[in-house]
Amino acid sequence: MKKKIIFLFLFIPLMAFAQSGGESLPVHSTEVAPGVYRLFVNERVATVLFSGPDGVILIDAAYEQTATQLKAAIEAITQTPISYLVNTHHHGDHVGGNVALGSNAIIISHQYVRDYVSSEHRAGERVIPAMAEEGRPDISFLNELKLDFNGQTLQMLHLPKGHTNGDVIIYFPESKVIVVGDLLFADNFPYVDVGSGGDPMGYILNQQYILDNFPRDLTVIGGHGPIYTMERLREYNLELQKTVETVRIAKQQGMTAEQMKAARILREWEAWGKFFITEDRWIDTLFPVL
Ligand SMILES: [Zn+2]
């Protein structure tokens, strides 16, 4: 691990930082289980800290621009340096703080995430430069990785073709917590990064996989939005399926995407459109795949 290069790069986060004015909002810390904290950065993106006798693991590093405030929020909980930083996927609002927070840690991700951040890549129209070497994952895996840490076996599991093609969920069996990254935009329409191998149908199936394969009494932490229970995730997933069926039926009836938007066929879920993905964008995401 040679992590000596200091390299500042222009970084425009996927969900424009400017939407929140770019100002520093507080990091809200919630202890969801003993030693397990959800740190909600700028009221926009969730990271998770697990502190215990073996040390500290951080899941996701939020934006590059919020690294200082996230670091301060972590230091308010523990002075122990971060041993491991896990990235749930490659988007800038999750890996942007990798250099600032992970340069002395072992960074872990799915292999695709390592590939993305290690070379110049596109995000829609934008070109994202390669990340400085000290912010790139040191350990990457394809299907599953288990880590014995702080008295439990953390399970990192790849769920393909969801939000991206490299999404990883992290299960804390003793803490009864599951961190699902952007496979959950709680209380919102999800962003599905089709250009990076995401798939709206796979997104729904991946949520169902989580519901079908993990205990019912877990706390569910998504990348955006409030903390959920498994029951709330089930309800959300059913609503998401209803949005899909609504668009599918409209398409079968011959409506174009523009007609669906004009008719506001997803108006029932208008509260889900206020954060990032609007009703119209969700229609545009679904229309080509139905
Ligand atoms: Zn994302």
Question: Does residue 277 sit within a domain?
Answer: no
Question: Does residue 9 sit within a domain?
Answer: no
The Å distance, Cα 93 to ligand 1 centre, comes to: 7
The Å distance, Cα 254 to ligand 1 centre, comes to: 32
Contacts 24+ apart (CB under 8 A), 15-20: 15/44, 15/45, 15/93, 15/191, 15/276, 17/42, 17/63, 17/65, 20/44
Question: Does residue 31 sit within a domain?
Answer: yes
Question: Does residue 26 sit within a domain?
Answer: yes
Question: Does residue 3 sit within a domain?
Answer: no
The Å distance, Cα 53 to ligand 1 centre, comes to: 31
Residue 78's pLDDT is 98
Residues 6+ apart with CB under 8 A from 112: 90, 164, 165, 166, 197
- Tokens for 139, please give them: 């350990």
Residue 4's pLDDT is 41
DSSP 222-235: EEESS-EEHHHHHH
Residue 275's pLDDT is 85
Tally of domains in the chain: 1
| CATH code for position 173 | 3.60.15.10
Residue 22's pLDDT is 52
Residue 9's pLDDT is 35
The Å distance, Cα 107 to ligand 1 centre, comes to: 18
Question: Does residue 66 sit within a domain?
Answer: yes
Where the chain has pLDDT below 50, the residues are 1-21
The Å distance, Cα 225 to ligand 1 centre, comes to: 13
The Å distance, Cα 30 to ligand 1 centre, comes to: 21
Domain boundaries, position 105: 17-229
pTM score, whole prediction? 0.92
The Å distance, Cα 198 to ligand 1 centre, comes to: 10
The Å distance, Cα 206 to ligand 1 centre, comes to: 15
The Å distance, Cα 163 to ligand 1 centre, comes to: 7
The Å distance, Cα 94 to ligand 1 centre, comes to: 7
Q: What is the pLDDT of residues 135-159, one digit of tens each?
A: 999 999 999 999 999 999 999 999 9
Question: Does residue 187 sit within a domain?
Answer: yes
CA angle 188, 71, 57 (to 5 degrees): 80
The Å distance, Cα 265 to ligand 1 centre, comes to: 26
CA distance 60 to 94: 5
The Å distance, Cα 89 to ligand 1 centre, comes to: 7
Residue 25's pLDDT is 75
Residue 24's pLDDT is 67
The Å distance, Cα 13 to ligand 1 centre, comes to: 10
The Å distance, Cα 117 to ligand 1 centre, comes to: 13
The Å distance, Cα 253 to ligand 1 centre, comes to: 33
Question: Does residue 216 sit within a domain?
Answer: yes
Residue 23's pLDDT is 60
CA distance 122 to 104: 27
